[in-house]
Structure 1
Amino acid sequence: MFLQFWPYIDAYLQHYFHESIKPQLRILIPTDLKPFRVRHFDMGYIPCQIGKIKMHNKKDEDGRIVIDMDFIYEGNAKFDVNIRGFDAGANEITLKGKLRCFLTPLLSSTPPFFGGFAFSFMELPKFKFNLTGIGDFFEYPGLSKTIQSIADFQLANCCVFPNKFVIPLAPSNIDLTDLYFPEPDGMIRIKIIEAKNLPSKDALIRKNKSDPFCAVQVGAQMFKTKTIKNTLNPKFSECFEAIVNDGSCQTLQIEIFDEDKAGFDEELGHFSFPLNVVKEKGTIQQWSRLEGSKSGEIHYKIQWYEFSKNKELLGHQTWDSEWRRANNPIYSSLVMVYIDHIQGLPEETSKGVLPSSYIECSVGKRTQRSLVYENATDLELHTTFSFFIEKSESQILNLSAIDDGTQNLLGKLEIPLADVINEPKMELYQVKKYLRHESFKSSVVLTVRVRAFEPCQNSKADPWNINEKEEVTSVETASITETASVRQSNEETSSESSGNDGKTAEPGKTVNTEENNEAKLQLEAHRFNIGPKLPKTQKILDIIFQRNKHSKKKVYDTQNDAQLNFNLKLDSESSKLIVTIIKVKNITPIEKNNLVNPYVKIELFTKNSSKKSNKTAVIKNERNPCFDSSFEYKIDLNKIRKYKLHFTLKDATDYGILHKTPALGKGEISLDELNPHQILGDQWITLKTPGASN
C-alpha cells in the first residue's frame, strides 16, 4: 500500500516542507550558521514500513479507536543545504519508533465515521542520519552531536507525547476539540532521592570521583537535577512533575551523567520504568540497578495523581507534605489552554503588510509562545499551553498576539483564573473572546481548563516489590543520552512572599526565568497539526551553542615540538598497510590554563589520489598520552613508493562551536623504503608546531 501511495506522500511532504518548514529555518538556524539555504529535499522512492499492529478495545475508549504500530523508515531520502558557502547535507536517514494512533471522535452517520486521526510516538524514536559534504567543517568540536541534538529536539516538538500530528477529516460543523486537546491521563510526581556505587569517570584526574547529575524524561518532557560534585554516592532529593498523556504506553526514563564542562557529559547508567505500573499501584518507591553500570543503583519515588475538577482540592493538601520537603518546589494545580483560531489581526496599515505573528501565553512570571504564522491575519492555531501553578485563584492568564518582525503588539487578552475555577467543571469551553489593542479587536476561540491533583486511590504502602515487566517492543527508541544537549534544568526556587510561584515543570515550553537565575533550557514542545510551522527556537539554540568554552593563549610556545611514537607493517597478501599509533610525548598546551585533550589524525595519500584518514580516541587532559591504536589502509602495492603518511596532533578542547580543532603538531613520512611483510617498529617522528594562527 505504501509503495503505491509513496510518490503522492513524497509530493505532499515536499510541498509541506517548502511551504511550512523552509520559511521558518531563518528562525531555527543560529546566526553562526548563516547564511543557510536549502538546495534540495526529497523522501526518495523507498517507502516507510508498518508492522506489529495492535488495536485496543477498552470500555473507557468508547469515544475513539486506539491503534499501536511499529514505524520504520530506512529509505533513500536526501537533504542538501548550503551553510556559510559550504555544501552539506544528510542521507542514510533512519527513523524507528512505536506509534500510537487515535481515531476520534466516532461519528454514527457521517463517513468516514470518525472526525480525524492523530498520531504520536510514545517515546523519542531512534532517529539517525549521515552528514555529508563540507569536509573538515564537521571536525568542529561537537558540531555533529549538536546537529543530532537539534534534530531530536525538533522531532520531540513535532510528534512525541504529548505532541502529535493531527489530520482532521470531519466536516467543519463537527467539534474536533477532543482530537486536538484531549484530557491527559494523569500526572506523576517524581522524586530522585539518591544514587550509590556509581562508576568513576574521572579516574585519571581524581581517583574514585565523578560529578553526577540525573536526567529524567517522560515523553518530550525533560528535567535535570543539580550536579553533585566529587562523589559516587550523590544525594539529590529533587522533585519534578510531569503530565502523562497515556500511562498505558509511556515510560519514565532516568539516566545519570558525569558532568564534563570541557566536552560532552558521560553516561554513568540508565533505567526505565513503565508508567502503567505506577498508575496501577499508585506509588512506587525503590532502589533499582542502573543498566550500563557494573554497580550503580538509583533510589527514587513516583506517585500517580488523577486530575480533579473539584475546586475544593486546589491549594496544598495533606498528601503534599512529604513532597514539599524536597529541594525544589511542587505545585497544586495545572492550567491548560487550547487556542483554536484567531480572526482579524490588524495589518501594518502604513505598508499594507500582513503580519507574521505568534501568540504569547503567560501566567505570573512564566511565558510560553506558539509557532510563528507568516503573512496572515486569520490564524488556525490548534495550539496548547500548560502551566503548573500555585494559588490559581489569584492568577491571571495573559494572551498576546505579537508581530514577529517588528515585535509590535497586535492584541492582548486577560482572563482571571478565578473566572475559570467558578465555571462548571472548572473549564471555559470553546468560548469567543477578543484580543484588543488600541482601536483593533481580534476574535479568538479558546478553551481553558484548571485541574487540581488527587492521589490515585490505589496509592498505598509497601510498593517496594515490582514483578511486572515492561513489554519488549521490536522497535528501538532513543535514550536520554542522545538528547543530552537539549535537557532542561529545573533549579529555580520559589518565593511565594514576593508573588513568584516558582519554577515550571510543565511539558516542553520555553520559560522566562528570573534575572538572578542561570538561563535554563526546556523543550519548546507544541502540538503539530497538518500545515503548522516550526517553533521559534533561536533562543533555545543559542543556549545549546553556548556551552562552556576555553580560550587559547595569546602567545604560543613554538620551540618545544611533540614526539610521536608509531610502527608500520605492510601485508602484501591482503594489500594492507597497518599503522599503529603508540604514544605522544612532550605536548605543549595552547589552552590558557594548560588543558589539553589530544588525539592523532592519520592520513594516507599519493600525489594523484584522495586522502584516506583515521583518528585515535581523545585522551583527556594528558600531555604524554598513550593511544595503542591500530588502523588498516587498503593500498596498491605497485604504487607503494608514491604513498605518504601524514600525522597531525590535534587538541579536542572546546574553543567554541565555530573554532576549528587546533593542530598542535604535524609530521610526514614516505613509504618508498617499506618492503612487504616488513615491520618498522618503535619509530619516532617530530611533530613540528604550526604557526600561532589556526
Structure 2
Amino acid sequence: LLEDEERAVRLGVRACDLPAWVHFPDTERAEWLNKTVKHMWPFICQFIEKLFRETIEPAVRGANTHLSTFSFTKVDVGQQPLRINGVKVYTENVDKRQIILDLQISFVGNCEIDLEIKRYFCRAGVQSIQIHGTMRVILEPLIGDMPLVGALSIFFLRKPLIEINWTGLTNLLDIPGLNGLSDTIILDIISSYLVLPNRITVPLVSEVQIAQLRFPIPKGVLRIHFIEAQDLQGKDTYLKGLVKGKSDPYGVIRVGNQIFQSKVIKESLSPKWNEVYEALVYEHPGQELEIELFDEDPDKDDFLGSLMIDLIEVEKERLLDE
C-alpha cells in the first residue's frame, strides 16, 4: 500500500513539488505528528498570540521611537494547522545529551492579524501567511528526571520562503522612519529573526541554564574564498533582444542569517572576484553554505545560478573546492 501511494505521488506531482520523504531516504513521513499538531492547534495558537503580544510587540516598540505606540489589536492565526512534510532525526555528530530534529514545514493560513500605531492613527494588518522551510528542533539537555528534556529550542536553518498578504501596508510605510522600507525588506527582516543564530528557547524545567541555550557559543568559523565563475549566461540584450550581450555578475553568500554580497564585475561571463568572507557556524549538521549569482540590472536583477554546500562535507574535508 505504501509503495502504491509513493508511486502515485511521484507520477502525479512535479519533481520540485514532491515532499522531502520522496527525495531523501533519511527523511521520514510523520502523519501521526500532523494529527497531533491538528489536535493541539488551538493551544499552539494561544502560544503564538502570547508570543506576539509579550515578545514581538515590546521589541517593535523599542526598535524605533516612531513605533512607541505600536500594538496588536487582534492575533488570529486561523483554523488551518501547520503541516509537517518530513522529519529527519540526526544520529551522528550529535551530543549524547541532545536530540536534533529537522522538520520540513509548510503553513498556508488565512490568518487575521491587526496592528495599530495610535500616534499616527495608522491601522494595518495581515490577511494570510505562507511559510515553507526547514525548522530545526533541539531537545536539550536530556535529564534523568521527568520530563526527561530540559528545554526546547526552535529556529530555521536558512531563510524560509515567506509570503504575506498585507492590508494597509501603504499607510504603514508612510510613517516617519519606515518610509524607506518595502514589502521585500520587511519580509527579509522577519526572516532574519527566525533564522539561526536567532532562536526561540522554551525551558521545561527550572534548573536549566537558559542563557547558554539561547545564546550558544559558535562551533567554528567558516572561511569562504569567493574566487571566480566561468561560462555564465549573458542576460543583457540590446535592440529589443536581437543582440546578446554579457552580464554584470555579483554573488550573494549566506550562512544562516549572515549575508555577504560581492562586488559587481561589469560585462563579464567569467568574472573574478577574489574576495574572502568569514562566517560563524552554530549548527553544522544540516546547515549549508548558499551561493547565488545575479546579473545587476537597473530594474530587476536576473538570476544566474546557485550552489549549496553542506557544512558537514566542509568539516570532513577541512578544505573544499567547488
TM range (shorter): 0.7 to 0.9
Aligned to 1:281: 317
Within-5 A mapping of 1:440-589: none
User: Is residue 250–residue 275 contact of structure 1 (8 Å, CA) maintained in 2?
Assistant: yes
Measured after TM superposition, the shift of residue 43 of structure 1 is 0.8
User: Is residue 57–residue 70 contact of structure 2 (8 Å, CA) maintained in 1?
Assistant: no
Aligned to 1:254: 291
Gaps of 5+ in 1: 287-694
Provide the secondary structure at the position in 1 that maps to 2:190. Answer: helix
CA–CA distance in 2 between the matches of 1:18 and 1:278? 41
Aligned to 2:125: 89
**1:191 matches 2:228:** no
Select 1:41's aligned residue among 66, 75, 80. Answer: 75
Structure 1 residues 257 and 228, CA gap change in structure 2 (3 angstroms) = same
**1:160 matches 2:232:** no
Measured after TM superposition, the shift of residue 86 of structure 1 is 6.3
Structure 1 residues 178 and 63, CA gap change in structure 2 (3 angstroms) = farther
Aligned to 1:116: 151
Aligned to 2:253: 216
Select 2:100's aligned residue among 62, 66, 69. Answer: 66
Aligned to 1:245: 282
Aligned to 1:18: 53
Give 1:19's aligned amino acid.
Answer: E
Provide the secondary structure at the position in 1 that maps to 2:229. Answer: strand
Give 1:162's aligned amino acid.
Answer: P
CA–CA distance in 2 between the matches of 1:231 and 1:120? 39
Between the two proteins, what is the percent identity of the paired residues?
32
CA–CA distance in 2 between the matches of 1:17 and 1:253? 30
Select 2:87's aligned residue among 53, 63, 76. Answer: 53
Provide the secondary structure at the position in 2 that maps to 1:231. Answer: coil
Which one has a larger percent helix, Structure 1 or Structure 2? Answer: 2
Measured after TM superposition, the shift of residue 236 of structure 1 is 0.3
How many residues get paired? 277
- 1:472-491 deviation line (CA, Å, top 9, x unaligned): xxxxxxxxxxxxxxxxxxxx
- 1:24-51 deviation line (CA, Å, top 9, x unaligned): 33454696x9996644322112221234
User: Is residue 105–residue 176 contact of structure 1 (8 Å, CA) maintained in 2?
Assistant: no
Measured after TM superposition, the shift of residue 233 of structure 1 is 2.4
User: Is residue 130–residue 163 contact of structure 2 (8 Å, CA) maintained in 1?
Assistant: yes
CA–CA distance in 2 between the matches of 1:247 and 1:59? 9
Aligned to 2:6: none
Structure 1 residues 87 and 170, CA gap change in structure 2 (3 angstroms) = closer
Provide the secondary structure at the position in 2 that maps to 1:2. Answer: helix
Gaps of 5+ in 2: 1-35, 174-178
Select 1:179's aligned residue among 213, 217, 239. Answer: 213
Provide the secondary structure at the position in 2 that maps to 1:18. Answer: helix
**1:75 matches 2:75:** no
Aligned to 1:103: 139
Aligned to 2:186: 150
Give 1:44's aligned amino acid.
Answer: G
Provide the secondary structure at the position in 2 that maps to 1:196. Answer: coil
Give 1:191's aligned amino acid.
Answer: H
CA RMSD of aligned residues (A): 3.2
Give 2:308's aligned amino acid.
Answer: S
CA–CA distance in 1 between the matches of 2:65 and 2:244? 39
TM-score, normalisation: structure 2: 0.74
Aligned to 2:235: 201
CA–CA distance in 1 between the matches of 2:211 and 2:71? 37
- 1:218-272 deviation line (CA, Å, top 9, x unaligned): 1111111112223332210000111222222011111112233x44433222222
User: Is residue 86–residue 134 contact of structure 1 (8 Å, CA) maintained in 2?
Assistant: no
Aligned to 1:266: 302
TM-score, normalisation: structure 1: 0.36
CA–CA distance in 1 between the matches of 2:196 and 2:159? 9
Provide the secondary structure at the position in 1 that maps to 2:197. Answer: coil
CA–CA distance in 1 between the matches of 2:65 and 2:274? 36
Provide the secondary structure at the position in 1 that maps to 2:101. Answer: strand
Structure 1 residues 244 and 202, CA gap change in structure 2 (3 angstroms) = same
User: Is residue 29–residue 36 contact of structure 1 (8 Å, CA) maintained in 2?
Assistant: no
CA–CA distance in 1 between the matches of 2:291 and 2:65? 30
**1:170 matches 2:209:** no
CA–CA distance in 1 between the matches of 2:94 and 2:167? 49
Measured after TM superposition, the shift of residue 189 of structure 1 is 1.0
User: Is residue 124–residue 172 contact of structure 2 (8 Å, CA) maintained in 1?
Assistant: no
- 1:440-464 deviation line (CA, Å, top 9, x unaligned): xxxxxxxxxxxxxxxxxxxxxxxxx
- 1:84-143 deviation line (CA, Å, top 9, x unaligned): 6665432231112112211111212x21122111122121111112233568999xxxx9
Select 1:231's aligned residue among 258, 264, 268. Answer: 268
- 1:605-645 deviation line (CA, Å, top 9, x unaligned): xxxxxxxxxxxxxxxxxxxxxxxxxxxxxxxxxxxxxxxxx
